[in-house]
């Protein structure tokens, strides 16, 4: 098992704690996995994503197996007709980030590290802190100085050391990277570390099982740093190679139009994403002005025959209200996904009858 540079193909052992190649390229993960028997996983009583151990980067009897909080196996709720919402806000720390955090922290534990570093303005930091606590690992979380007290309190409650960094989200990432580089500690990054997607890919395994071992026609996926979207790509590629599916579902990505660098690059026919100015959006979880994996995200959307749209602040607010009126209270960022669906069916009326799944990524009480 190695990290492999997506630019030059250089390989790094996981023990190196590498997070980027010396050529500047970002890293993917390379290892042998076995096909999943979806008949048996669908019937499994193991309510955690460890039931997919055959396609996770661990051996069956590794000592880390105790690291679980019952993540995964979230409900698929029929909204109307063939439209489904997958309720990942039912997770232990109330967001889909637990899928990635359990894999990242389990690997840090397996590698023998007693301390990890993360940077996040919200849900990822909370998930990393909770799973580190579960694993008995020390955790340093870098957050922008302007992060709300509510979020910081939850991270601190799990015993993590908080480092408040003045300036932008990018300044926060730089401070975390500086510490990771100077100490050689495991960088539990949900942006740079490809182990995170080994967890988020299970969202798509579950949807497939829940729809009777069939993929929907399309997945609506919110995009900031692409943590769910790259997981989708990995899951689809695996399932194609195992013969579980014969074509890739469409990825219909969503950004907030006030911070939509990937949307702009996509409609401009670009292969790379230019950083944009964040004009301010309520959907703060996907407000990433300079996504590190922009080029990779563009490639994935195009390869799936997908599309991307930008949604307005008004439509996000209205979508949140509409979901709440149906009994579903999600954080504002998650409402962008439903807003995206409502915009997509105007653009593609045929989607009204197609089978579509969108995620409810985080619980409503996370938003102020």
Contact positions toward Zn ion, by CB under 5 A?
5, 7-8, 10, 21, 23, 25
Q: How far is CA 191 from the centre of its chain?
A: 9
CB of 38 to Zn ion, least distance (A): 35
CA angle 278/85/51 to nearest 5° reads 105
CB of 190 to Zn ion, least distance (A): 21
CA distances from 3 to 20, 184, 200, 241, 297 (A): 9, 16, 18, 21, 19
CB of 51 to Zn ion, least distance (A): 35
CA distances from 93 to 34, 36, 98, 128, 284 (A): 29, 27, 7, 10, 18
CA angle 66/88/150 to nearest 5° reads 85
CB of 302 to Zn ion, least distance (A): 23
Distance from C-alpha of 52 to C-alpha of 65, rounded to nearest angstrom: 12
Question: Which CB, 21 or 289, lies closer to Zn ion?
Answer: 21
Candidates 216, 308, 298; CA nearest to 254 is 308
Question: Is residue 210 packed enough to be buried (19+ CB in 10 Å), middle (13-18) or exposed (0-12)?
Answer: middle
- Cβ contact 126:361 at 8 Å: no
Question: Which CB, 7 or 274, lies closer to Zn ion?
Answer: 7
Sign for the CA dihedral angle at 175, 181, 182, 186 comes to positive
Distance from C-alpha of 42 to C-alpha of 342, rounded to nearest angstrom: 31
Question: Which CB, 62 or 271, lies closer to Zn ion?
Answer: 271
CB of 114 to Zn ion, least distance (A): 29
Question: Which CB, 7 or 30, lies closer to Zn ion?
Answer: 7
Question: Which CB, 9 or 66, lies closer to Zn ion?
Answer: 9
CB of 189 to Zn ion, least distance (A): 17
Question: Which CB, 28 or 168, lies closer to Zn ion?
Answer: 28
């Amino acid at each position: 098992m190695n990290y492999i540079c997506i630019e030059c193909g250089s390989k790094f052992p996981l023990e190196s704690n590498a997070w980027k190649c010396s050529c500047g390229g970002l890293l993917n993960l390379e290892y042998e996995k076995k096909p999943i028997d979806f008949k048996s996983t669908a019937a499994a009583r193991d309510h955690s994503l460890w039931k997919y151990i055959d396609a996770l980067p661990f051996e069956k009897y590794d000592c880390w197996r105790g690291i679980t909080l019952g993540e995964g196996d979230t409900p698929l709720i029929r909204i109307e007709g063939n439209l489904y919402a997958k309720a990942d806000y039912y997770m232990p720390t109330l967001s889909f980030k637990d899928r990635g955090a359990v894999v990242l922290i389990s690997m840090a534990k397996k590698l023998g590290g007693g301390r990890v570093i993360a940077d996040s303005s919200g849900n990822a930091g909370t998930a990393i802190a909770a799973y580190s606590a579960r694993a008995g690992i020390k955790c340093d979380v870098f957050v922008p100085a302007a992060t709300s007290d509510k979020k910081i309190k939850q991270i601190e409650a799990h015993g993590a050391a908080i480092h408040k960094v003045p300036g932008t989200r990018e300044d926060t990432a730089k401070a975390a990277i500086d510490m990771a580089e100077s100490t050689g500690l495991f960088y539990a990054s949900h942006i740079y570390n490809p182990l995170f997607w080994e967890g988020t890919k299970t969202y798509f395994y579950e949807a497939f099982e829940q729809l009777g071992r069939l993929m929907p026609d399309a997945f609506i996926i919110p995009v900031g740093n692409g943590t769910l979207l790259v997981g989708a790509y990995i899951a689809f590629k695996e399932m194609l190679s195992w013969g579980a599916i014969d074509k890739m579902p469409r990825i219909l990505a969503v950004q907030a139009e006030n911070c939509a660098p990937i949307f702009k690059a996509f409609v401009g026919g670009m292969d790379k994403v230019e950083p944009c100015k964040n004009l301010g959006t309520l959907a703060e979880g996907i407000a990433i002005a300079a996504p590190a994996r922009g080029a990779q995200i563009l490639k994935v959307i195009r390869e799936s025959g997908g599309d991307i749209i930008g949604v307005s602040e008004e439509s996000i607010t209205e979508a949140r209200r509409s979901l709440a009126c149906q009994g579903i209270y999600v954080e504002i960022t998650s409402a962008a996904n439903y807003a995206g669906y409502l915009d997509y069916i105007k653009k593609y009326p045929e989607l009204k009858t197609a089978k579509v799944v969108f995620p409810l990524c985080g619980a409503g009480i996370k938003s102020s």
